[in-house]
Amino acid sequence: MSLRRLWAVARKEFLHVRRDARSLGMGIAMPVLLLCLFGWALTLDVDRVPLVVWDQCGSQSSRDLAAELAGSRYFALRGRAGSYAEIERAIDRREALGALVIPPDFDRRLWTGRGAPVQLIVDGSDANTATIASGYAQAAVRGYSQGVVLREIRRAGLRPPAPPLDPRARVWFNEDLTGRNYIIPGLIAVIMMVIAALLTALTVAREWERGTMEQLVSTPLKGPELVLGKLLPYFAIGMFDVLLAVLMGAFLFGVPMRGSLALLFAMAAVFLAGALSLGMLFSIVTRSQLLASQMAMVLTFLPAFLLSGLMYAIPNMPAGIRAVTYLVPARYFVHLLRGIYLKGVGLEVLAPEAALLAAFSAAMIALAMRKFRKKLT
């Protein structure tokens, strides 16, 4: 392998990128845009669920209950309803995701100790939000009802008994359960996967389509020199993207970074080398820009998005799909980034993922080099 030839290719490729607004845009603007878009939109937290209240009782206690819900960050009161028809209309128009119905005898039953039912209606067409919202509402109502019980006991001059079980849940690594802290590190991994593969998917195919490759294959240039030379400029762009993403994570999204930045960048470098080589492999095998970029989109974006553990926890997947996730390199990088970001752990814990990621990258580089043929077909 000649470093001089490798460098000649890298320099040329760098000039292409610098002069091509489209690839610069894709290389730098797109990851920033995607991170903003998904960072803000893709939140698994459910808060400020819009709620309407049908208070048929209209007493002090029924107003207290409604206020209890409205006062939490989980619900936002969107008005009052006077009938089930009105509730239905509000949910249909998506003005509300749920409704609280307080029956007319609420107050009476509460003070006579007969147990006062309240009804909670949740729009189940968004199952995830419905589950979470009804959980919140039940907790809020339970809290309210416990308060009532305690007050009654005290009023009777008794000492309230200790609850039989007293769970003290503490959340580690993401104390305030901010979904964003969990999403952003994984998102960086997935975005880098897609961008990297798309960046290189065009390079080799473009040269075949424009005819410059016919010239190149007639020179002493070797496959590894071409592959590595073409990777270099995109690798630089990719690392710059990672830097941007980390800065955005820290300053825009306020995601805490507990682990080693050096380890993060080292892992990003390993991952990028593999993802870029995968994109180039598509380019080498198809010799068509259209086909290669479609392959890069479908074969990296979907698995990275769905099977990397970014959106859906891998342990919850069926065994068959779980087995497939081992083939998704983004899975390892998502795991690594979350470990470094949220837990601050190092290689002592992450070694298996790091090793598998390195194996993937080495395989992709080797495959791209081997598959490049200096022959026409």
Would you say 128 or 219 has its CB closer to another protein? 219
Residue in 15, 33, 44, 321 binding another protein, rule: CB under 8 A:
15
Distance CA 256, CA 259 (A): 9
Neighbour count for residue 166 (Cβ, 10 Å): 6
Asked if 211 is part of the footprint of another protein (rule: CB under 8 A), the reply reads yes
Distance CA 304, CA 191 (A): 9
Asked if 76 is part of the footprint of another protein (rule: CB under 8 A), the reply reads no
Would you say 16 or 63 has its CB closer to another protein? 16
Residue in 111, 135, 215, 247 binding another protein, rule: CB under 8 A:
215
Residue in 64, 88, 92, 214 binding another protein, rule: CB under 8 A:
214
The answer to whether 186 touches 37, Cβ cutoff 8 Å, is no
Distance CA 317, CA 97 (A): 28
Distance CA 334, CA 247 (A): 17
Asked if 287 is part of the footprint of another protein (rule: CB under 8 A), the reply reads no
Minimum CB separation of residue 129 from another protein in Å reads 50
Among 56, 47, 233, residue whose Cα is nearest residue 129: 47
Asked if 25 is part of the footprint of another protein (rule: CB under 8 A), the reply reads no
Side chain identity, residue 326: Y
Asked if 8 is part of the footprint of another protein (rule: CB under 8 A), the reply reads yes
The stretch near another protein (CB under 8 A) out of 220-228, 286-294, 314-322, 334-342 is: 220-228
Residue in 87, 193, 221, 248 binding another protein, rule: CB under 8 A:
221
Asked if 239 is part of the footprint of another protein (rule: CB under 8 A), the reply reads no
The answer to whether 74 touches 47, Cβ cutoff 8 Å, is yes
Backbone angles phi and psi of 98, in degrees to 5: -165, 175
Distance CA 200, CA 202 (A): 5
Residue in 11, 48, 114, 151 binding another protein, rule: CB under 8 A:
11
The stretch near another protein (CB under 8 A) out of 2-10, 116-124, 186-194, 266-274 is: 2-10
Distance (Å) of CA 144 to CA 68, 108, 133 = 7, 16, 16
Q: Which residues bind another protein (CB under 8 A)?
A: 2, 4-5, 7-9, 11-12, 15-16, 19-20, 210-212, 214-222, 374-376
